[in-house]
Structure 1
Amino acid sequence: MITASKWFWNGLWNYTSRGFEKKKQHFNENDLNQDISSKHFIITGGNNGLGFQTSLELAKLGGNVHILCRNQEKGEVAINEIKDKSGSNKVHFHLCDVSMVSSIKSFVEDWKKQDNPRIDVLIHNAGVMLPNREETSEGHEKTFATNLLGPFLLTKLLMCTDGEKAGNVGFDQAFKRVIFISSGGMLTSKMTTDFEFKRFLTNPKLKWDGMKAYAETKRSLVYLTELFSEKYPSFNSYSMHPGWVDTTGVMNGMPLFYKMTKSQLRTLKQGCDTIVWLAVSPTINDHSKFSGEFYEDRQIVNKYIHNSNTESSQEDINTLWNYLNDIYSKNFQ
């Protein structure tokens, strides 16, 4: 309760629209004034909310934008709207359900069949907060599969090769980035090692809490960022949270919170500002200084609330990596 209270009051000062405008005064807008016309950006869940706005902003800046969406019709509608608003024709739709291993495999196979399958920035935006524990047709719990497994598999398949582990990072490689969209709510949670929430199957007395499951997977993403940064120095890995943003996900998944804070929530453009900054700014290229860190409003911030007891042991963090790698090995090796 104390941790939640600290988080909420800190949020009122920092995560709101007012908090963004206060910190915006210190932004260097030249950070976004970059030539990204040759860069390729993949955004999961780019058809609505923060993913849509991020895709739109990158298209306005001249980048080659690739939206991954599980629904063909919604994806094509989003593509047309982004093209219309940005004036760019370099916006592309790819069918992919990031909660499904088979769909990820199909997408990656198609992507690599291109003449020059280049990726400069991979943005993991897709996420779910579910009212009940659900499983995909492949047997994985859906919150875990969407928020954690999908980002891991796409990063491994698209950004990691054995040769890259050694380093030898050139300028073009140094630009390569992976951005994990976490959540401010993860600051209140400790990572569970019951990654697929199987305790709810074995103990019928437990009541599912979609908000808590969401926060726990988003906490895991922060560790995943660190792990990729340590193991693959050929690209930079960043995690961030967008603040409190007025999205349908917040409205539907957290109705009481939404009602209490609606007048203070950030716009989509405010919420995606740091995502776009992480994707294009040249100021954060140095792997040793910036990769593996957690960002808020263009700044590195603490990953933990003081005395919150939300840190995991290195053993548990290694368990996360091994669990995800086991799924990868069974499906792709």
Structure 2
Amino acid sequence: MANSTRSILITGGTTGVGFYAAAEIARNCPDHCIVIASRKDADQSAKAINDKLRQNNVQFLPLDLGDLKNVRSFVETWKEKHFPPLSALILNAGLQFPHEIHYTADGFEATFGINHVGHALLFHLLQPYLAHEARIVITASGTHDPAQKSGLPDAKYATAEELAHPTGKELTVDGRGRYSNSKLCNILWTYALARRLEKLPGKKWTVVAFDPGLMPGTGLAREYNAFLRFLWHHVLPPIIPLLRLVLFHNIHKPSESGASLVWTALDAKEKAANGIYYEGRKHIKSSVNSYNEADQEELWAWTVKTLAATETERHQFEVVN
């Protein structure tokens, strides 16, 4: 990888849609350094991709998005390894806790903390390592949109602080509702960042949100009970074509959604699109609430204030210089 011209980072790249996307990118970009980041790589995913392609341009770096010290340590490691400039940053990792409330190492509600806060800090700290032309893709979900009737509780946004540190009745919110809320935050933050990138001089950075659809067989159900995990991993995957026909069009194999994620990140024509919401390979409207600019700015301001450790970082995190 010493001769790599660019880097691409994928969080959650060891399993599911992230793994298939990493393999496809490695195949299409043999001259790029592909880094997959997750808490662990139990299946040696990076090695598996390299062995299959007979290449050596994929590597694994440990990253715990639920621990902000670990996120900072990850970026220090990135700096020390002198990776080539990042041409694509794919913020794909996500967790869902369907039952009791969980917290991150920093005391944030874990779904919000991992799906939004950890990713936001990672982006901000990696800004100096982005190439002149860079694509940021955030894996969101159609569950954020009540109009899609996903079966999850409707996403609602009041304040970021309420999501980060729920109190009172907010402590009893269904964990699946916390997931849909976090996915709404992914899109609110995407639109807030997109406005700033449009004003950024001297750079060609774009950011979009991507809905991979429902993907039975992925690790998203790992916190569910044994029966539901069995259905998710063994019963539903073989009948995806039938589910797509009789239930909802946006149900896919992880390999299919992985290919769409790669297209969203790397397609030459799409790379110019900024502030767009994708359902697979289609530009569609996100939820009505996701276009509330006041909510976008409230989330943005809270995130910068919470994550910036110094005034210098605050200025950097604001993106517009």
- For the aligned pair, the TM-score class normalised by the smaller chain equals 0.7 to 0.9
Separation of aligned partners in 1, 2:164 and 2:299: 15
**Aligned sequence identity (%):** 25
Quickly say closer, same or farther: Cα 1:46–1:199, change in 2 above 3 A.
Answer: closer
Separation of aligned partners in 2, 1:38 and 1:311: 36
Separation of aligned partners in 2, 1:44 and 1:127: 9
Q: 2:178 aligns with which of 213, 220, 224?
A: 213
RMSD of aligned Cα (Å): 2.7
Separation of aligned partners in 2, 1:116 and 1:136: 29
Residues 159-195 of structure 1: CA distance to partner in whole angstroms, max 9, x if unpaired?
Answer: 269xx9xxxxxxx623x01100001111122334255
Structure 1 contact 50–268 (Cα < 8 Å) conserved: yes
Amino acid at match of 1:142: A
Residue aligned with 1:277, SS: helix
Structure 1 residue 154: Cα displacement: 1.1
Q: Where does structure 1 differ by over 6 angstroms across 4 or more consecutive aligned residues?
A: none
Structure 1 residue 318: Cα displacement: 1.3
Separation of aligned partners in 1, 2:128 and 2:303: 15
| Pair 1:317-2:284 in alignment | no
Matched residue, 1:191: 157
Q: 2:281 aligns with which of 293, 298, 309?
A: 298
Residue aligned with 1:68, SS: strand
TM-score, length of structure 2 as denominator length: 0.77
Residues 84-120 of structure 1: CA distance to partner in whole angstroms, max 9, x if unpaired?
Answer: 2222210111121112110011011121223454211
Matched residue, 1:23: none
Separation of aligned partners in 1, 2:196 and 2:213: 29
| Pair 1:94-2:61 in alignment | yes
Stretches of structure 1 lacking an aligned partner (at least 5 in a row): 1-36, 165-171
Separation of aligned partners in 2, 1:99 and 1:77: 22
Q: Which has the higher strand share?
A: 2
Amino acid at match of 1:273: A
Q: 1:278 aligns with which of 264, 283, 288?
A: 264
Residue aligned with 2:207, SS: strand
Give matches, 1:147-186, under 5 Å. 147-159=115-127, 173-174=132-133, 176-186=134-144
Separation of aligned partners in 2, 1:200 and 1:227: 23
Structure 2 contact 135–271 (Cα < 8 Å) conserved: no
Separation of aligned partners in 2, 1:284 and 1:113: 32
Residues 130-163 of structure 1: CA distance to partner in whole angstroms, max 9, x if unpaired?
Answer: 13211122212211111001111111111269xx
TM-score, length of structure 1 as denominator length: 0.75
Separation of aligned partners in 2, 1:301 and 1:217: 19
Amino acid at match of 2:96: M
Structure 2 contact 96–221 (Cα < 8 Å) conserved: no
Aligned residues: 277
